[in-house]
Structure 1
């Protein structure tokens, strides 16, 4: 189980029609509304690209509002990093995300994002909430909707050196996995530059191609083939909720999350002189760097120390919420990436842009960087 970093204070997931029903959604939302009113808290309601997600979110917003909760509704399907950014900007006191994140398409759920869940609950209320009309037609009230994507994209532009990417004539394939990040990287990378960001699986698909919308639970066959056969510079696959990232090099090889984390951390040290602990998972057994026999040499070369190999999620949670010592990079086995200087939650869009920046500064050769790092990590002796 992944331990969240800005916590899902409360979460519930169920299979469509079996447990995820309109009655259950309303009952659980009503229970939450009672707690929010008692604490005087406002709530942001957001959703992903799952089946009827927008309509479920509008019904949730209607239930919260009927109880007197101050509520805002996302104007479009929204990746989790953008929801977190909105909370950082104090759009609301908490957020209720209508999503099962990167689970199979047969699931949906509710996740409450809140730093202090005291007095809040998502369990079904003992009494049914007042009936609410399910908004099958018409548009939501524009006064209650918020654009979460625009401010988030603006924040990314202030962090990443997009100009160095745009002027290096790169070709980057982006697999949006039919999720919430569709259009974001082409918008950021394709404005007035020479780099081409070509997006696949960009159209919303509630079935996610009938697979889990997670880059490490999917074969990424199409992305790997496109990157390899077009001789492009980089492939990026981003999970449906925007938290997990997979890199594909020009040979069509998908990098292990630990390798990606090491590459990014070394780059942040070299380019931006950042420092801090590095939290990575142990590489998969079939990874070219399984065992990492030369960790000591890598640490000495970069000036970083590696932690959390056995339980990276728990170590990240402890570091952020108890030690207040953010990691330079934090990674989990399913590819969730935290770039600690900028965000204390998984953000695959930010991490992907930094990977593009890294490749641009290296002359467009991710493969050369990967091979050099592997040599350092696996070479015996000296």
Structure 2
């Protein structure tokens, strides 16, 4: 029996390749998924299986396909690496029962992962992943010590029997993107941009779409490199040195960035200033309402900027805040008309598409915003903050021992600080982690990651200096408690 406990975090199961993320364990999850789909009555609808550019992702995807085929579940298998939203669109457009994406998204290169998509294309909902974990536990309990799960069937045989079909998932997805963007406006603007897929699965796709719209495009970090050039493929400031250098060297209007599997968005302005996902969320919301004239609920996860709350109130739109993880946004999108929903990490989805994050679509809309407003992204951010007030944001990731993490979370639950950086805490919100709130635009959040062995500390305030002061005192608090 395996001693690996497989748990689905905020977005799937992730683990280090060759340690816990092994072919045997991937097959374990696939067999549990097969049983779950059969029990739910969705097995005959079939499953799309895709993969990213990480080490052995294609082989892991083939292992999943072979197991599902052995369970007589039809499989649509991508013949190439593809972005996660392309896999999700295949589930929606083909009306399949589920989707599996082999990816660790933004995690460091030594990780891989198993993202499960529901029949609606978005992340599997919590009750579904809980059912999958229960099946896994029961299957393991029934297995003899040392016995590996069945390997599945030969893929060539599965193809011959019609149980596995290889199909292009990127082409239909690109056609969907063509329906969602104002290409005429882009053609008239004649922008010069850099595209940075961070060696991930969106490489070549976003750049080609923008070239077809008449933009002058240079793609960087577009080569296949499962080591991601030594950086985690997460579009945050510390990983965007090549993007900053490129935008200044090429005198472009912006760098449009996607993460390792293409479902997150990031950007760098013409000046080399990083436009973080918090500001991107606000810009997209403003554009969809003021230019597109769209309406609907606004959904923000717990670490999201207060700019979103303020804009929703200004536009008279319903507003909801959820725990971290796009699956919670997706729950709302399945029940009500959602205009936009997203996370501080850059996973943002919009209406008239699917209840799923899409980094390529969000980047196309950023280009549309520049073309419409005639401003750089930073200029547009400054104009927005002149209207609703300044907001600045930072995040720190801390690696703590399991004991230190437990001490920290226990202390925050039982005796949180009453003051940080000289400001009194007005209240503590324990929705997902512990958020200490100091005022309408100032807060700090301590939260254990659901996909990595880290505690994240997020802070937002009215100035960069206030954010730094909050973080510095917050980190001193963590040091004193977790290191004690």
Runs of 4+ with deviation above 3 angstroms: 1-4, 34-41, 115-135, 140-143, 279-284, 298-307, 309-315
Measured in 2, the distance between the counterparts of 1:101 and 1:154 equals 23
Equivalence map 1:234-273=2 (5 Å): 234-273=254-293
- Matched with 1:171 is 192
- Matched with 1:33 is 34
Give unpaired runs (5+ residues) of structure 1: 285-289
- Distance change >3 Å, CA 282–CA 132, structure 1 → 2: closer
- Distance change >3 Å, CA 280–CA 233, structure 1 → 2: farther
- Matched with 1:365 is 376
Give unpaired runs (5+ residues) of structure 2: 1-6, 391-484
Measured in 2, the distance between the counterparts of 1:186 and 1:316 equals 28
- Distance change >3 Å, CA 215–CA 31, structure 1 → 2: same
Classify the secondary structure of the residue corresponding to 1:258: helix
Residue-by-residue CA offset, 1:46-102 (whole Å, 9 max, x unaligned): 111110111221122122212322112112112111111111112521112222222
- Distance change >3 Å, CA 129–CA 256, structure 1 → 2: closer
- Matched with 1:287 is none
Judge which range, 199-208 or 306-315, deviates more: 306-315
How far off its partner does 1:231 sit? Answer: 2.4
Classify the secondary structure of the residue corresponding to 2:104: coil
Equivalence map 1:1-382=2 (5 Å): 11-38=12-39, 39=41, 40-41=43-44, 42-90=46-94, 92-115=96-119, 117=128, 120=132, 121-122=135-136, 125=140, 126-127=142-143, 128-131=148-151, 144-191=165-212, 193-216=213-236, 218-280=238-300, 298=311, 302-304=315-317, 307-308=320-321, 316-317=329-330, 319-321=332-334, 323-326=335-338, 328-378=339-389
Residue-by-residue CA offset, 1:230-253 (whole Å, 9 max, x unaligned): 321111111111121112111111
How far off its partner does 1:189 sit? Answer: 1.3
- Distance change >3 Å, CA 301–CA 231, structure 1 → 2: farther
- Matched with 2:436 is none
- Distance change >3 Å, CA 305–CA 228, structure 1 → 2: farther
Q: Higher helix share goes to which structure? A: 2
How far off its partner does 1:26 sit? Answer: 2.4
Judge which range, 340-349 or 76-85, deviates more: 340-349
How far off its partner does 1:357 sit? Answer: 0.8
Residue-by-residue CA offset, 1:118-170 (whole Å, 9 max, x unaligned): 965455644444445888x9xx8797101100000000001101232133211
How far off its partner does 1:17 sit? Answer: 1.5
Matched-pair contact (CA < 8 Å) for 2:97–2:118: yes
Judge which range, 120-129 or 342-351, deviates more: 120-129
How far off its partner does 1:318 sit? Answer: 5.1
What TM-score do the two structures reach when normalised by structure 2? 0.66
Classify the secondary structure of the residue corresponding to 2:99: strand
Measured in 1, the distance between the counterparts of 2:84 and 2:258 equals 12
Judge which range, 234-243 or 361-370, deviates more: 361-370
Measured in 2, the distance between the counterparts of 1:152 and 1:197 equals 21
Matched-pair contact (CA < 8 Å) for 1:166–1:189: no
- Distance change >3 Å, CA 351–CA 304, structure 1 → 2: same
Measured in 2, the distance between the counterparts of 1:75 and 1:270 equals 40
Measured in 1, the distance between the counterparts of 2:331 and 2:65 equals 33
Larger radius of gyration: 2
Judge which range, 79-88 or 358-367, deviates more: 358-367
Measured in 2, the distance between the counterparts of 1:22 and 1:295 equals 44
